[in-house]
Each structure stands twice: as structure tokens, then as C-alpha cells.
Amino acid sequence: MSTWANAKKAVPNAKELESLFDRLWPICRSLTGEGFRRSLQILSETMPLEKVEVPTGTPVLDWTVPREWNISEAYLEDESGRRWVDFAENNLHVLNYSVPTDQWLNRSELDSHLYSLPEMPDAIPYVTSYYAERWGFCLSEKQRLSLPKTGKFHAVIRSELKSGSLTYGHLLLPATVPTDQEILISTYLCHPSMANNELSGPMVAQAIYQGLKSVQDRRYNYRFVVIPETIGAITYLAKYGEHLKKNCRAGLVVTCVGDGRATHYKRSRRGNALIDQVAEFVLSRDPSIREQLRVMPFFPTGSDERQYCSPGFDLPVGSITRSMYGKYPEYHTSLDNKDFVDFFEMKHSAELYLDVLEGFELNQKYLNLAPHGEPMLSKRNLYNTLGANRVSPQLQQMIAYLLAYSDGDHSVLDIAKMANMDLAEFREPIRLLTQAALLKEI
């Protein structure tokens, strides 16, 4: 039996995923800084990432690596000392990348530094200011309305913006037989405490790694990349973009994979890349998600697929998500929390990725080595005779389709579509026909 059958068994279970989540959740992460490094180190315990530091000021394509940001404390208190907003209670309470401040303000002066969502009165919004210096507090609309209208407020943010570095992690899981061809698995680790939009991506990526590591017949190298979103992908492409243009055969961005409300596949910019074809076919045949699967054309917003698919690189990179960024109300708010995600569904997301990757690996082209008429299968124990039940009717049908269409032009995906069967089901008949010297990969 193919070792791909063991891949899902190697995926961490829901309890293990929850334990990892609980360690990562309290950490305040951003584009740069100690929170990112600490989170990356935790991931590296089960996924041996090489940590790379890129200094502040480094030119990366059309961008420049920003200053490093760290924060230790932030709060908003009134003249009596009552704290109305406290970073220690929720790290979304501070405008991410806030410059330091320590000043007293009246309410009207304070208001321009407050961020809330009137349409979602219980939610703290996630707001950033990476590339413009400002400071601020994020709070629920209910909190904002409850603030006194008079008196002074003490705004304290103990943060630091300094020359430092941007951190990312990556690793290459090699193919069984040496090859230059790669599959890219990319995720990001730069948001503070949000569950589906942030932590589900790197957690599922490490689960995918665990599954792939157990497979002993990998056809491709797998490049895992854990970066800060946008600037991290741009930084990575500045160094590895030309290498990926030459060697990347497929890629997937792992994000928003923590709940079970829906499943989306976003196509690459090419629209019909092989990874798009395989992913759509494999996912559409999965009975657990088939009814709520939505296939999206590429659009130039979203996550890091927009960097990998930019015209100068045009890599074949798509993305499988569950509730997609921007399409669920809790997105970029404090309501995207542990209660929103489901660790069984997170495990399921990793399994969906593994199904697609197995399909991609299996989808090769073969040549029938006995193409003149039907080869005699019974003398090779590949056809049922009276009293012999080695070959099931389904296996016999797949063998027939493979022999009929393995002409060097049709891929296994083409044949699976014609036979109306799952891609992975063709692994065994391919093995049997190859063993019987009736089929050869080209």
C-alpha cells in the first residue's frame, strides 16, 4: 500500500492542535519583533524551520524592510486611575505598530486615536499602521460609548520602533528521488490574537508537514514558508523569486482554515494551472464539503497569493480556505477567537490539503506498452476468471480506462474525469499495471 495512505494518520489530532493553539494565542505578533520570533520558535518544535533575519532598511523589490516593533504595555486610564482599555487583557486593544506615547488628553483629543466598529458593538477591531507613524487604541463600540465625556485620560503605550530585522522561517522537505521541482506551501504568522484568520494557517501548515513527512514516495520537494503577510512574501520573492519561477510547479497559501462553515478554493492568476484543475476536481468529489464548496477566480486582493501570482512571477499558486478572509463577520475582530474555530475542522483542513497534494503527485502521464488491442489481463492476474476474485469490478474498470487513454497525451486527471472516479483511486491500478509491464510513466 502506498505510504500516502499513512499521511492523514500522521496529522496531529484535535487535542494536539488545541494545545498548540493555547500556547500561541496569548502572544502579540506583528510584522516584526519578538512576538513573531517566539511564535516561530514554538512552530519549529514540530516543523524544523530555518529562521532568517532580514535587516531593517533592506530593499526588497519595490519595498523596504521596516523598522522592528515591540511592545510591553499599553493602557488608557482616567484621572481616578480606572483603566478603560488595557493591552494586558487583549492584545488587539493597541493599534498594531503604534509608536510610543505617554500623555494626558481630553475626550475630544482622544477620539482621533480610538478605533471601534459601530456596526459590531461587542467586537474589538484589528487595525494596523505599519507604514505611517501613529498611535491608537482599539476597543469595542460599547467600551467607547461608556467612556466619560469629560475629564482627562492618560494614554500610555510602551512600544519601541527600532532598527532590527524582519524574521521568516522556511524549510525544504526533499523528494524521495532528487529533483529540482517544488511545491510551495506558504502561510503567515504576523497577526495578534485571532484564531481563524491567523493561527489556523500556520497550525494547519505544520500539520500538512507532519503528514507529508510520513510519506516515503514524494515526487516533489516541498518548500514550507512562514512569513509576515505581504512584506514577508515580497522579501521572500526578492531572494527566491527567480528560483521559484524556474522550479515551482504548484503552490498553496494556507490561511483561514479553522472553521467548518464553508470551503473555498481560490484559483491562481493563471486560472487554469494544473494545481487549479487538481484542487477543484479533488475538492468537488469530497462528500464532506461538496455541497458547500465555492470555487473563486483569482482576484488581486487577499493574502500572499497576490504576491506569488503578480505578473513578474506568475507562479501557479492557489489557496484552499474554509470561511474566507473578508467573507465572515468576525474577520479582523476579537470575535475571531477560540470559540469561532473547531479543532476537528482544522485537522480536516490539513487532510483536504493532503488530498489535493496527493492528487497533484499522482497526476502524471503514462504510456500503454501494449496498445494494439486489449492486452490479455487474465494471464497477469488482472482480470477475473471463474472462481477468481482478485480484481474488483471498480478496479477492473479503472484498469480499462488507464489502458484505453494512456497514450502520452491524457493525464491521470483527464482519465479520472472521464471515468468519474477519484484521482487517488487510480494509485493501485497504476501500480499493478506498471508492475505487469503494461504501463510506463513518461
Co-location of 177 and 214 in the same domain: yes
Band of pLDDT at residue 390, cut at 50, 70 and 90: low
Evaluate if residue 185 carries a pLDDT over 60: yes
Q: Where does residue 406 fall: left (phi above 0), alpha (psi -120 to 50 degrees), or beta otherwise? A: beta
Co-location of 153 and 279 in the same domain: no
Segment 164-168 shows an average pLDDT of 98
Co-location of 242 and 308 in the same domain: yes
Band of pLDDT at residue 391, cut at 50, 70 and 90: confident
pLDDT tens, residue by residue, 344-364: 999 999 999 999 999 999 999
Co-location of 95 and 30 in the same domain: no
Q: Are 226 and 318 in contact (CB under 8 A)?
A: no
Domains contained in the chain, number: 3
Co-location of 306 and 370 in the same domain: no
Q: Are 21 and 199 in contact (CB under 8 A)?
A: yes
Q: Are 282 and 355 in contact (CB under 8 A)?
A: yes
Mean of pLDDT over the chain: 96
Q: What angle do CA 349, 291, 316 make, to 5 degrees?
A: 50
Band of pLDDT at residue 1, cut at 50, 70 and 90: very low
Co-location of 320 and 231 in the same domain: yes
pLDDT tens, residue by residue, 359-375: 999 999 999 999 999 99
pLDDT at 162: 97
Element (H, E) at 247: helix 231-247
Co-location of 311 and 218 in the same domain: yes
Handedness of CA 162, 187, 298, 312 (dihedral sign): positive
Can you give the CATH number for the domain in which 88 is found? Answer: 3.50.30.90
The secondary structure of 220-239 as a DSSP string is SEEEEEEE-TTHHHHHHHHH
Residue-number span of the structural domain to which 146 is assigned: 68-162
**Domain termination site, one of 362, 379, 406:** 362
Co-location of 52 and 88 in the same domain: no
Co-location of 243 and 262 in the same domain: yes
Element (H, E) at 325: none
pLDDT at 2: 55
Evaluate if residue 409 carries a pLDDT over 90: yes
Q: How many CA atoms lie within 13 A of 438 on its CB side?
A: 24
pTM to 2 decimals? 0.96
Q: What is the dihedral of CA 301, 307, 308, 311, to 10 degrees?
A: 90
Co-location of 201 and 62 in the same domain: yes
pLDDT at 3: 77
**Domain termination site, one of 144, 162, 180:** 162
C-alpha cell at position 399: 484498469
- What is the rounded CA–CA span in Å between residue 123 and residue 139? 7
Can you give the CATH number for the domain in which 314 is found? Answer: 3.40.630.10
Co-location of 338 and 290 in the same domain: yes
The single-letter code of the amino acid at 101 is T
pLDDT at 389: 57
**Domain termination site, one of 335, 362, 389:** 362
pLDDT at 388: 52
The single-letter code of the amino acid at 439 is L
Co-location of 385 and 415 in the same domain: yes
Reduced to 3 states (helix: H, G, I; strand: E, B; else coil), residue 17 is helix
pLDDT tens, residue by residue, 271-309: 999 999 999 999 999 999 999 999 999 999 999 999 999
Range list of H helices, 294-392: 305-308, 343-362
Q: What percent of the chain has pLDDT over 70?
A: 98
E strand segments, 32-141 = 50-55, 59-60, 63-64, 68-78, 83-86, 101-106, 114-115, 137-138
Can you give the CATH number for the domain in which 415 is found? Answer: 1.10.10.10
Evaluate if residue 387 carries a pLDDT over 60: no
